Amino acid sequence: MAGEASAEAARKSSQELSSQELEEPAPDTAAEEPEFPVLGDDRAAAFFDLDNTVMQGAALFHFGRGLYKRRFFETRDLVRFAWQQAWFRLAGVEDPEHMQDARDSALSIVKGHRVSELMSIGEEIYDEYMAERIWPGTRALAQAHLDAGQKVWLVTAAPVEIATVIARRLGLTGALGTVAESVDGVYTGKLVGEPLHGPAKAEAVRALASAEGLDLSRCAAYSDSHNDIPMLSLVGHPYAINPDTKLRRHARDSDWRLRDYRTARKAAKVGIPAAAGVGAVAGGTAAAIALHRRRR
């Protein structure tokens, strides 16, 4: 159900490409590599993880800061968000227990509020806390796919409303994200299925690709976390961006490309990526299929 809900929300929220010009990275060995992304290849697309791949830190925490400023919750809850963000930065990994704690906090905060209200506030919060934390290098990678005529999707465990706002502001196609339940446009404080995390991301991408008529061997995926190895293994062009230790090791062993923007180092290329299969969860498959039907 997580995949189904997120894929449906993603297709529903996909936007036209913006004409915004973005800074492009300067790869070390561009002349030694075949042209990528391939101009005009409409059977290819790109899938980007959000937290610490596209944006420094966790989107959910920045969103929480904005809600606190608007008196959605009390100081003790902000301290809780701050601790979760500190853990994320220090550990450099997505710890399931801390992620669950963050989601529970967020769900309790938005319960009873209208979806439209949160979407509107999300636009303001993006400008206040998120815009300056977008990694220019990753943003340039996304723009390269857009300039090649390809669709670009965020794929994240963050709430789909937050992900949709960020995707729209960056001029991307849309977002796959965790879906919070709402009745008559009001949040109930529950999730639809499980969070879009780990293997569920891979299955949502697989199902969305099927619905969109994409060839995954020609697609690209980008992430910082070893939790996203299933998604990265699904495509023909996997990239480890600002990788944690486990993902860095796996990328080197698998000859995946690696780029690290955290210390202003130039992109390090690790071989030519190879496609690989990965097992998936049923929820994600149903997700993109339902999304495809709804869009039609």
- The two structure tokens encoding residue 138: 């990753």
Cis peptide before 37 (omega within 30 of 0): yes
Identify any residues that bridge with 221 across adjacent strands, giving them in sequence order.
47, 238
Catalytically annotated residues: 49, 51
The rounded distance, in Å, linking the Cα atoms of 40 and 196 is 30
Upper half-sphere CA count for residue 20 (Cβ side, 13 Å) = 15
Neighbours of 85 (CB within 10 A): 19
